Amino acid sequence: MNDTKIPPLHLEHNGSGIPVLLIHGFPFTSRMWRPQLSGLAASGHILAPDLPGFGRTPAAPPPHSVERLAAACLDAVTALGIHEPVVLGGLSMGGYIALAAARHFPERLRGLMLLSTRAGADSAEAKANRDKSIATAQAEGPAPAGEGMYPKLLAPENYAAQPETASELKAILQGATTEGVVMGLTAMRDRPDATDELPEINLPTLIIHGQQDQVIPFSEAEAMAAAIPHSQLHLLPQAGHVPNLEQPERFNQAVTEFLGRLS
């Protein structure tokens, strides 16, 4: 891992009690956690950073890696004076970063939440697509990344059934910059395969996945649940890639129960 540190991250936080660090997906911002910043405040101290180049955090120079992003997220918590281990949750790209934290900084973690994510690395085809998307962002800015993902993010019926969720999602996607998009795509492209490490994860682990996730199939969540010893799986119906926005009550209930078992 490179020693150069990423400059401090902006972090939204609310609540009190057990620290719960939530890392956003790509190309989102901490705004995606609004239903958790409010709805989980009685269950824990909810901490939601903006990754570099997203939301209110300025871009960071390369090298870009999930390991460096994991360190930056944990540093943001330390900067608040919180030194105890955190429950770390990450959605999709945030989950890749959470798995990197479990690999490199297990002593900083008290629990793990793998949300709409997978353990495997990118295939050769997926890496080539990342390269194309990086070139598009460099030529056209951040909008195509969000526009390309938007139709896949919600469960198909939720675009019509939940118009407020759909418009909130569009607003969240406005928070990405070119530098953030390039950083996220680079870190995701180069992330290591975490599959073989799953049986070694010695942390209580909550896995939540939407049954209609069109970005990462729920079979990936089932595979992680089978491999991680102290894990439990919640497959949420009527939810796609962002179950925390599509089914916030069920999502928050699952997290609250998980946190209750940790304390």
Binding stretches for ligand MLT (CB under 6 A): 25-26, 92-93, 188, 215
Shortest Å, Cβ 81 to ligand MLT: 29
Shortest Å, Cβ 196 to ligand MLT: 19
In sequence order, what are the beta bridge partners of 231?
A: 205
Query: Tokens standing for 254?
Result: 């699952």
Of 18 and 236, nearer to ligand MLT (C-beta) is 236
Shortest Å, Cβ 26 to ligand MLT: 4
Query: Tokens standing for 260?
Result: 């209750």
Report helix, strand or coil for 203. coil
Q: Give the chain's count of helices (H) and strands (E).
A: 11, 7
In sequence order, what are the beta bridge partners of 91?
A: 115
Of 93 and 100, nearer to ligand MLT (C-beta) is 93
Of 98 and 188, nearer to ligand MLT (C-beta) is 188
Q: Are 210 and 246 in contact (CB under 8 A)?
A: yes
Of 26 and 54, nearer to ligand MLT (C-beta) is 26
Of 153 and 259, nearer to ligand MLT (C-beta) is 153
Of 110 and 127, nearer to ligand MLT (C-beta) is 127
Alpha-carbon gap, residue 101 to 84, rounded angstroms: 15
Shortest Å, Cβ 25 to ligand MLT: 3
Q: Are 240 and 246 in contact (CB under 8 A)?
A: yes
Angle at 215 between CA 147 and CA 72, to 5 degrees: 80
Report helix, strand or coil for 118. coil
Shortest Å, Cβ 217 to ligand MLT: 12
Shortest Å, Cβ 179 to ligand MLT: 17
Of 26 and 33, nearer to ligand MLT (C-beta) is 26
Q: 180-204: b or e for each residue (b if 16 or more CB lie within 10 Å)? A: bbbbbbbbbbbbbebeeebeebebb
Shortest Å, Cβ 202 to ligand MLT: 26
Query: Tokens standing for 181?
Result: 């998009």
Alpha-carbon gap, residue 227 to 254, rounded angstroms: 20
DSSP state of 40: T
